[in-house]
Structure 1
Amino acid sequence: MIDGPDAEHAVATFLFAHGAGAGMDHAFMTTVAQGLALHNIQVVRFNFPYMIKRAEDGKKRPPDRQPKLLLDFQNHIEQFDNGKLVIGGKSMGGRMASLMVTGIAADTPMVSNCAAKVRGVACLGFPFHPPAKPENYRGDHLAIITVPTLILQGERDTFGVRSEVEQWPFSAQVSYQFLADGDHGFKPRKASGHTEAENITIAIEALAAFIKNCVNSEDAE
């Protein structure tokens, strides 16, 4: 599923992977994709294999194992590799994107470290740990990642709240921005004075600026 201009006329291509529980056509994914398209960014959404099966028969399935997810991600990177590719995703999709540019990918059968093909990584609601289980930290690779990486995180995200994110060790390539009072989908509480639409708009603007900067910074080298 592609939003925005074709690759030749786009300023960049963003390969956008979905989270564990909802596919590429989820409202959040659609809103972000369409918002980025207005910035002249081509957005490519895809479903991981388990989500394709769910779409075919309507049966809910758990996500594929990590090696299968990474291999599928690599196939899409190779398909859309055009010299101005940024990859990312919502929750699990963002974590898989970040793994694709590390040695973890290279240690996976039939998968390679794709850092040379990717200009940046963007994670929307990074699942640093399962809710209420901070001991199960899943962000160790972010301390050594070598590709520019943006994390957009709701301040109240139960997969990693602001106070946690601010104290974890990250590579100098990692930057992060918080969405006011946002949960895992950036939705704030009514009493906060903020709205979900407002937070998602802020996220789109930050993401578009990051993607353009990733492409332009390498063009200038």
Structure 2
Amino acid sequence: MSSLDASSSSSATPIADGPAEASCLLLLAHGAGQGPASPFMQTVAGAVAASGVRVIRFAFPYMVRSEQESRRRPPDREPVLTEAFLAQIARHRGDAERLFIGGKSLGGRIASLLADEAGVAGLVCLGYPFHPPGRPQRLRVQHLADLRTPTLICQGERDPFGRLGEVEGYPLSPAIRLAWIPDGEHSFKPRKASGRTWEENLQLAAREVARFLEV
């Protein structure tokens, strides 16, 4: 682990886990409400990095400002988010033989919009927001039907942004593989009655990601 490790407290500073000399690099963006150092991001990134992958988490501009101003801010508009992600891709393009991109919820959606254009090795989405909660008619899947980049979507079975019974009927590209997280909601947390723990589900998601990255 480099000096840009999980103990870094500034969202303006990317957080890196895993060996710097790794042949595979996964560039991850955060979700709408929590930054790159959230427990979800930290646990999954750390577990994937333990398999020998270099994982770098970065913050979108609005999250950096939110931390600097000590107040919650709404996400930037889509063009700003896309530009910020593309800048990170350009920055890390030569850091490893294979570059994968992705993120949690919002971060994964933005990555999915530019994956084909960016020419990356693959895409990882952790809890994809297929539709707003309670509004399944407002689908965000049109571009996913024609996606060419090899893609893994880890999705909680109870995710209000796209449950198991809903997503199975969506017109998704054959390049997309779905990994269902048992009884998980949007952050993969299961109900106590399921007999599973959040840690177990996060570790399962990390194993699915590592398997997808072929490490």
**TM-score, with structure 1 as normaliser:** 0.88
Q: 2 CA distance for matches of 1:26 and 1:40?
A: 21
The 5-angstrom pairing of residues 44-59 of structure 1 reads: 44-59=56-71
- In the other structure, the counterpart of 1:80 is 92
CA RMSD of aligned residues (A): 0.9
- In the other structure, the counterpart of 1:209 is 211
Please state if 1:155 is matched with 2:157. Answer: yes
SS where residue 101 of structure 1 aligns? helix
Q: 1 CA distance for matches of 2:102 and 2:122?
A: 8
Q: 1 CA distance for matches of 2:115 and 2:207?
A: 24
Count residues in correspondence: 199
Please state if 1:23 is matched with 2:25. Answer: no
Is the 8 Å Cα contact of residues 12 and 212 (structure 1) preserved in structure 2? no
The 5-angstrom pairing of residues 172-211 of structure 1 reads: 172-211=174-213
Query: Percent identical across equivalent pairs?
Result: 47
Shift of 1:36: 1.1
Shift of 1:171: 0.8
- In the other structure, the counterpart of 1:219 is none
Shift of 1:33: 1.0
Q: 2 CA distance for matches of 1:171 and 1:93?
A: 19
Q: 2 CA distance for matches of 1:165 and 1:52?
A: 33
SS where residue 214 of structure 2 aligns? helix
Unaligned runs of 5+ in 1: 103-112, 214-221
User: Any idea what the Cα deviations from partners look like across 1:127-184, whole Å, max 9, x if unmatched?
Assistant: 0000000111011111100000000000000000000111101111000010110000
**TM-score, with structure 2 as normaliser:** 0.90
Shift of 1:37: 1.2
Shift of 1:203: 0.4
The 5-angstrom pairing of residues 33-112 of structure 1 reads: 33-82=45-94, 83-102=97-116
- In the other structure, the counterpart of 2:3 is none
Q: 1 CA distance for matches of 2:142 and 2:166?
A: 14
- In the other structure, the counterpart of 1:106 is none
Q: 2 CA distance for matches of 1:201 and 1:59?
A: 31
Unaligned runs of 5+ in 2: 1-14
- In the other structure, the counterpart of 1:133 is 135
Q: Which amino acid aligns with 2:110?
A: M
Is the 8 Å Cα contact of residues 11 and 212 (structure 1) preserved in structure 2? no
Q: 2 CA distance for matches of 1:69 and 1:90?
A: 14
Q: 1 CA distance for matches of 2:132 and 2:42?
A: 25
Q: 1 CA distance for matches of 2:45 and 2:143?
A: 27
Shift of 1:18: 0.1
Q: 1 CA distance for matches of 2:192 and 2:33?
A: 25
